[in-house]
Amino acid sequence: MCGIVGAVAPRNVVPILLEGLQRLEYRGYDSAGLVVVNNSRLERVRSIGRVAELTARSAKTSGHLGIAHTRWATHGAPSERNAHPHISSDLIAVAHNGIIENYEELRAQLTAQGYVFTSDTDTEVIAHLIHSHYARGNSLLAATQAALAELVGAYAIGVVAADNPDQLIGARKGSPLLLGVGGGEHFIASDVSALLQVTKNMVYLEEGDVVEASLHGYRIFDAKGQAAQRPVHVSELTNDSVELGEYRHYMQKEIHEQPQALADTLEAVCNSQSLVPGIFGAAAAAAFAQVDSILILACGTSHHAGLVARYWLEEIAGIPCNVEIASEYRYRVSVANPKTLVVTISQSGETADTMAALSHAKEIGHEHTLSICNVPESALVRLSKLRMLTRAGPEIGVASTKAFTTQLAALFLLTIVLAKQRGRLSKEAEQQHLHDLRHLPSAAQAVLKLEPEIAKLAEHFADKQHALFLGRGLHYPIALEGALKLKEISYIHAEAYPAGELKHGPLALVDSDMPVIAIAPNDALLEKLKSNLQEVRARGGELYVFADAGTRFHSSDGVHLMQMPEHAGYLSPILHTIPLQLLAYYVALQKGTDVDKPRNLAKSVTVE
């Protein structure tokens, strides 16, 4: 995951920036860079590889103001020219996390104005845009605010200008950024662990905030440009702990990290006009050309990701797909098809059942193997010929959250690549999918705003023993995932059904004590789902409906509506997962369970 550090101080900030980057190394990256302001000039050092390499290259660099970045590229070789910070006109430098959705449009506009692009990144657009406003006589703060108003997407940025040696600007929308307050010095970072070396006083910026920091103080402006006060938290963490920051539990933190985790996983999309098989490995193009079907093997939440992917793969790519629970597949006598692509999905990459299922698949004659995994160099990744790493960063809460949504993002990329290869995708359809993927991090951020409402809704569940989750089509696996989240951390017995199955049995369970949670996106099955929900209401069942825009649900007696902001088409399952994660989390808080370490469960299931 990408990381940002920035500093303005009466001392040389280079060691602070480098130490900060080192503290962010655990998030994974493949290139790094820094910029300092020195004698009204920007001095930039970048390198691919480890922060240690950047440190060696920065030996002669010093300055009192600077920004630094670690970048984790997914598309093509990570290169020095794509490493951040990016510079405009030798004057403005920017480090950025996130995805700018309208970067193509802005790039064309800025190129017409005479700006020359030296990287393939969307970040460079931000640098030139800020420069274009700065060159018209605006202050650095005003120029940054004006540029941000033109950006669509999710971001955290750090900005400095060569002729402004005492001013550090930071801004966030959709990606985390915090301000560190020292004695006569100030810092920004995407993660508290980067700043514990210099201060324990942290200000967590809110959505849309812009901060202007100098040696003497700082000012924060909210999304509307109004001056804002934000509390200073004194961190209790030591330099060595994995930080929780402003959150109560890792699960809550990891739910909130999803916009950034999605942006990191989708970085390939953001910087390209079209998707190529190479994102799954050098041998992917040749392998994909030979396959005629897909077999997905996984456990638990990762299995649910596979179930969603089956809908995408069959509908969009037109390729037959089976999804099996790894612990069943490994002992089942099955028929191998050498033209099948075996896809294993795992957060940890060390789940014993999934590894054994993959070994079994290979033994019985499957040749094409692909792992979608969150841990680079894990055993599972090493067992597969092809790989795609999700960029969720470490997941500490036992209940999987950001790993799941990034798995879905990776599986959607696989779908598009296969659809293209099989001649099932027009150029226009590909562009539309890429557009939707770029928008995903900010759409996820918008869903997170439902948190206070969901926390209130959770109170209804405090005394419940059972719950039923309903979904249809693409969202049936999301119902399964919602039920799994609820049962594992709140210990409420929860089951999920495709809504059309209700009348074939489970309807017998419905009464006023049975909360029924319905996942109700505005898709082709909405009217069918509505009829199923009528069946529930008619039996006195209490309905909790997670609907998105245009579904025309209304709260009424026995119907509690959670209105999601927008419908995301094929990507809707990713967005609909988030409120269910929050619901499980807040119900668990009501129940007083150990959210991050639920009883009887382990994070990595390395035994059969």
The nearest distance, CB 12 to ligand F6R, in angstroms, is 43
The nearest distance, CB 351 to ligand F6R, in angstroms, is 3
133-172: contacts with ligand F6R (CB under 6 A): none
Please check whether residue 154 is in contact with residue 98, taking contact to mean a CB–CB distance below 8 angstroms.
yes
Number of residues that bind ligand F6R (CB under 6 A): 14
Nearer to ligand F6R, 355 or 458 (CB): 355
Distance CA 514, CA 502 (A): 13
Figure out which of the listed residues 191, 212, 264, 488 binds ligand F6R, where binding follows CB under 6 A. Answer: 488
Task: Report if residue 399 touches ligand F6R, rule: CB under 6 A.
Answer: yes
Nearer to ligand F6R, 299 or 496 (CB): 299
The nearest distance, CB 380 to ligand F6R, in angstroms, is 8
Figure out which of the listed residues 400, 406, 421, 532 binds ligand F6R, where binding follows CB under 6 A. Answer: 400
Signed CA dihedral, 311, 314, 319, 320: sign only: positive
Task: Report if residue 346 touches ligand F6R, rule: CB under 6 A.
Answer: yes
The answer to whether residue 528 is catalytic is no
Nearer to ligand F6R, 45 or 479 (CB): 479
Catalytic residue among 362, 487, 597, 603: 603
The nearest distance, CB 546 to ligand F6R, in angstroms, is 19
For the chain, helix (H) and strand (E) counts, in that order, are 19, 25
Nearer to ligand F6R, 289 or 602 (CB): 602
Catalytic residue among 2, 270, 299, 321: 2
The nearest distance, CB 74 to ligand F6R, in angstroms, is 20
Cα distances (Å, whole numbers) of residue 78 to 377, 552, 576: 18, 47, 33
287-306: contacts with ligand F6R (CB under 6 A): 299-302
Token pair in block for residue 177: 């950024």
Distance CA 100, CA 129 (A): 12
The nearest distance, CB 300 to ligand F6R, in angstroms, is 2
The answer to whether residue 299 is catalytic is no
Figure out which of the listed residues 193, 327, 347, 551 binds ligand F6R, where binding follows CB under 6 A. Answer: 347
Helix, strand, coil proportions of the chain in percent (round to 5)?
A: 40, 25, 35
Nearer to ligand F6R, 254 or 264 (CB): 254
Task: Report if residue 351 touches ligand F6R, rule: CB under 6 A.
Answer: yes
Q: Which stretch binds ligand F6R (CB under 6 A): 63-71, 155-163, 270-278, 341-349?
A: 341-349
Distance CA 177, CA 230 (A): 13
Cα 131 to chain centroid, rounded: 29
Backbone angles phi, psi at 440, to 5 degrees: -55, -45
Torsion on CA atoms 348, 354, 356, 359, rounded to nearest 10: -100
DSSP string, 387-413: EEE-------SSS--HHHHHHHHHHHH
Nearer to ligand F6R, 354 or 442 (CB): 354
Task: Report if residue 348 touches ligand F6R, rule: CB under 6 A.
Answer: yes
Strands across the sheet containing 542-547 = 493-498, 466-471, 515-520, 542-547, 559-563
User: What is the x/- site pattern for ligand F6R, positions 429-468, by CB under 6 A?
Assistant: ----------------------------------------
Closest CA to 325 of 356, 366, 348, 288: 356
Distance CA 212, CA 221 (A): 8
Task: Report if residue 354 touches ligand F6R, rule: CB under 6 A.
Answer: yes
The nearest distance, CB 258 to ligand F6R, in angstroms, is 14
DSSP 461: G
Q: Which residues does residue 186 pair with via DSSP β-bridges, in sequence order?
A: 8, 181
Nearer to ligand F6R, 409 or 510 (CB): 409
DSSP string, 62-114: --SEEEEEEE---SS---GGGSSPEEETTTEEEEEEEEETTHHHHHHHHHHTT
SS3 297: strand
The nearest distance, CB 403 to ligand F6R, in angstroms, is 6
Residue nearest to ligand F6R as judged by C-beta position: 300
Binding site for ligand F6R (CB under 6 A): 299-302, 346-348, 351, 354, 399-400, 484, 488, 605
Catalytic residues: 2, 603
